Amino acid sequence: MSENSVGMAEAVELMKKASELIKSDDAIYAEYTAIKKKIEGNPELFERIKAFKQKDYEYRLRLKDGHEDFDMEKSLSQEYYKLVLDSDVNRLFALEHELVTSIAKVYSQVLDATVLDILL
């Protein structure tokens, strides 16, 4: 099925609708949005979070390639714990985790429902 086929187009539309349902009808998403907006009102804190997430993401990519760096891991851990001392940041991270987990469940159900066995 090509990306431009009718079936794929319908599937993409359904996923967009699912995304909109999560955003509009989910208390977790509403709380996440409110806390994120509050944090964005503190540019210094917001930039610290962005910088932390970028460093963490880059480190995780290097880890996948087998490049462990104890000093970087320690630094990231220390920065994380400094950030989550702020109750809003702590809640933001918890809500992000819940949202990602929910989205992963939807993705998993779509994958299971299509019965794709890509390992054969």
**Max mean pLDDT range (11-15, 23-27, 95-99, 110-114):** 95-99
Q: How far is CA 81 from CA 5, 12, 49, 72, 90, in A?
A: 47, 38, 12, 14, 9
Terminal-residue alpha carbon distance, the chain: 18
- 17 closest CA partner among 90, 110, 118, 81: 110
For the stretch 1-32, pLDDT in tens is: 455 566 788 878 888 887 787 777 678 889 99
Number of Cβ within a 10 Å radius of residue 93: 16
> What's the whole-model pTM score?
0.76
For the stretch 36-75, pLDDT in tens is: 999 999 999 999 999 999 999 999 999 988 888 999 999 9
Percent of the chain with pLDDT over 90: 51
Q: Is the dihedral of CA 52, 55, 57, 62 positive or negative?
A: negative
- 49 closest CA partner among 63, 60, 58, 39: 39
